[in-house]
Chains A and B, each alone.
Chain A
């Protein structure tokens, strides 16, 4: 860390925990998609090749549950982080630094459409998370819970049918299958398209991996966030989102 000269004023956008969770979910989700799609479309050639590679459908199922466990444990860790953020750090759940949806997101969306259509000179003044990033986040966070519940019903049908009627297993199967396709479509196309293939960051936005972004980038892409952290820059040492790293 010492020898790398920072040309720009580096800001930390994602804490180590969030980088780590993203990395694990990235691996876990990809594993789930590969094993799950291979099981769901087992007659196709790529699926047969993959199933052969892992030594049979039972092993693919085992891997699918393994990836499910590591992916969902990230949701659990994230929930604990939320408690820590609220209780210990007394963090705010709303405002420009929050991931929570707000009315401003709707306005941003309309303004952004206007910008795309040439009706506005400037893009909207996004906060720390744009409405696209919030959509990405909530799609995954809600999706992992619903996929987790239906997946658990399919994993332990004997347990769940002790108190649920048997057709819930069929419903779980249908929901799990179609939501999986939805999730894969959203993550592999919309998320990667919005987060990494935007002209501003193409070919990839590395901030979720390095945790770092530049002051200039925040000022351009997230002016709403900048107006908050620039006021409280010196006093906000405790807030992970705005810990500044000494450039040396």
Chain B
């Protein structure tokens, strides 16, 4: 590690020559103590310039080189790569925090996250948490998977096993899809899917932390269908007139919004809160009806609700402090807590769907009337979860996640062990699995206002309206 790190930052040999008092041009200029032993204030322009000038004493010169394994590595940092660079007014030691000392070598490399924060889902997906910033943002073409810490980094060797000097500080346009192909191509060695996948869309927020954008066209279709369905549903509520007028939409909106306002700013808001907590979240009315039906329904409903709440929490925590510990835990799929929680909740949904299928197709109790809509709904949910678990297992295989990290995904990891027996290149298969799961998710969202799942809008509203307007229990729907 020490040697590798020294190659990366290439200061050692240069410092050595300075200490010997022989500078590159052969001039005899003896270093005085304060050349090195001083602390320029790198928060000022003067400090930055004097600090950089000291580094450039060696690193600007063409003979600043180093020999690694008998191979010559250039250590010259050219001014050109810095002149058109956002970092041109930043001191070297601002990022290379551990090189200004003896021995002149680095253990941690350049530090980006002292100033910059990690990406959210919109800019790069959560799996990119294990990628070094430089691997995407620098112009170097060669990347590698470091098996000691399971991180993707800039490679120190090119494909011909020749060492590379990482002296080019020029930044790449990481927003350009072409730069993603550094990893996202067939036969990559870092465990990336062979194609560049879109970011998770806003629609995915039902179950996953996601970006604020809509993204891929399939999500646009689903979103427009969803909004259209909601519009039709709400329009239906406002059909009909208040007192037999011709046009009463405005009046209906006035009256209903006034009723809502009067309820919110009165003691009745407590009634609404009680209904929301007891009847809507905790499903008291179903529990009174039958414990079995409550259990079945809660397995699906509460699991989705908790996943939705977790996604919202992730977005909130990330927007407050992207580098906060909680935000980093929540966006990291491989974090033990996150992996376990999401797998557990996914399993709950799956078991709930399975139970419902058995009830409807095998047990067939008298009170359960199965229509085609029920079967479609259960089919979508079940497929969605199964595809999700398969995609997760493929991701674990593809990214070569070590067992001790992956094991917390207690459904995905065993499944990945099973999938490992299949002679499939998961880097190629993963995009298909991802799209299959994404399309299923899009179908789920688009279907919400049309099929049986419409009840997630209607039933809570009915509960609240019945309670607020004081309809007696025996008259309730």
Given contacts A15-B258, A238-B247, A240-B254, 6 further A-B contacts (CB under 8 A): A12-B258, A16-B260, A211-B258, A237-B245, A238-B250, A240-B250
- CB-CB under 8 A from B243, the residues of chain A are 237
- CB-CB under 8 A from A243, the residues of chain B are 251, 254-255
B54 at the interface (CB under 8 A from A): no
- CB-CB under 8 A from A211, the residues of chain B are 258, 261
The 8 sampled A-B contact pairs (Cβ below 8 Å) are A2-B469, A15-B254, A15-B258, A211-B258, A240-B250, A243-B251, A243-B255, A245-B258
Q: Are B262 and A238 in contact (CB under 8 A)?
A: no
Q: With the chains together, A163 CA to B251 CA distance in Å?
A: 48
The secondary structure that dominates the A interface is: loop
- CB-CB under 8 A from A245, the residues of chain B are 258
Q: Known: A237-B245, A238-B250, A243-B251. Is A210-B257 also a contact (CB below 8 A)? A: no
Q: Are A1 and B262 in contact (CB under 8 A)?
A: yes
Q: Are A16 and B251 in contact (CB under 8 A)?
A: no
Q: How far is the CB of A33 from chain B (nearest CB, A)?
A: 23
Which residues A67-94 have CB closer than 8 A to chain B? 88-89
Q: With the chains together, A17 CA to B256 CA distance in Å?
A: 12
- CB-CB under 8 A from A15, the residues of chain B are 254, 257-258
Q: Known: A209-B265, A210-B265, A237-B245. Is A1-B259 also a contact (CB below 8 A)? A: yes
Which residues A181-229 have CB closer than 8 A to chain B? 209-211
Which residues B264-310 have CB closer than 8 A to chain A? 265
Q: Are B259 and A238 in contact (CB under 8 A)?
A: no
- CB-CB under 8 A from A89, the residues of chain B are 250
Q: Are B261 and A238 in contact (CB under 8 A)?
A: no
Q: With the chains together, A46 CA to B121 CA distance in Å?
A: 39
Q: Are B265 and A238 in contact (CB under 8 A)?
A: no
Q: With the chains together, A1 CA to B255 CA distance in Å?
A: 11
Q: Are A16 and B245 in contact (CB under 8 A)?
A: no
The 8 Å CB contact of B254, one of A2, A16, A20, A209, is A16
Q: How far is the CB of B259 from chain A (nearest CB, A)?
A: 6
- CB-CB under 8 A from B261, the residues of chain A are 16, 19-20, 211
Q: How far is the CB of B274 from chain A (nearest CB, A)?
A: 18
Q: How far is the CB of B328 from chain A (nearest CB, A)?
A: 19
By beta carbon, the residue of chain B nearest A209 is: B265
Q: With the chains together, A88 CA to B257 CA distance in Å?
A: 18
Interface string of B236-252 (1 = CB under 8 A from A): 00000001010100110
- CB-CB under 8 A from A19, the residues of chain B are 261
Which residues A1-37 have CB closer than 8 A to chain B? 1-2, 12, 15-17, 19-20
Interface string of B211-254 (1 = CB under 8 A from A): 00000000000000000000000000000000101010011001
Q: With the chains together, A138 CA to B265 CA distance in Å?
A: 28
Q: How far is the CB of A4 from chain B (nearest CB, A)?
A: 8
By beta carbon, the residue of chain A nearest B261 is: A16
By beta carbon, the residue of chain B nearest A1 is: B262
Most chain A CB neighbours (cut-off 10 Å) among B250, B469, B470: B250
Q: With the chains together, A119 CA to B278 CA distance in Å?
A: 64
- CB-CB under 8 A from B263, the residues of chain A are 1
By beta carbon, the residue of chain A nearest B262 is: A1
Q: Are A238 and B251 in contact (CB under 8 A)?
A: yes
Q: How far is the CB of A1 from chain B (nearest CB, A)?
A: 5
Q: Are B258 and A237 in contact (CB under 8 A)?
A: no
Q: How far is the CB of A13 from chain B (nearest CB, A)?
A: 12
- CB-CB under 8 A from B265, the residues of chain A are 209-210
Most chain A CB neighbours (cut-off 10 Å) among B255, B261, B265, B470: B261
Which residues B161-206 have CB closer than 8 A to chain A? none
By beta carbon, the residue of chain B nearest A243 is: B254
Interface string of A120-147 (1 = CB under 8 A from B): 0000000000000000000000000000
Q: Known: A1-B262, A209-B265. Is A16-B257 also a contact (CB below 8 A)? A: yes
Q: With the chains together, A1 CA to B259 CA distance in Å?
A: 7
Q: With the chains together, A104 CA to B254 CA distance in Å?
A: 30
Q: Known: A209-B265, A237-B245. Is A16-B250 also a contact (CB below 8 A)? A: no
- CB-CB under 8 A from B255, the residues of chain A are 243
Q: How far is the CB of A203 from chain B (nearest CB, A)?
A: 18
Which residues A59-73 have CB closer than 8 A to chain B? none
By beta carbon, the residue of chain B nearest A20 is: B261
By beta carbon, the residue of chain A nearest B257 is: A16
Q: Are A16 and B258 in contact (CB under 8 A)?
A: yes
Q: Known: A209-B265, A210-B265. Is A237-B260 also a contact (CB below 8 A)? A: no
Q: Are A237 and B251 in contact (CB under 8 A)?
A: yes
- CB-CB under 8 A from B245, the residues of chain A are 237
Q: With the chains together, A244 CA to B262 CA distance in Å?
A: 15
By beta carbon, the residue of chain B nearest A17 is: B257
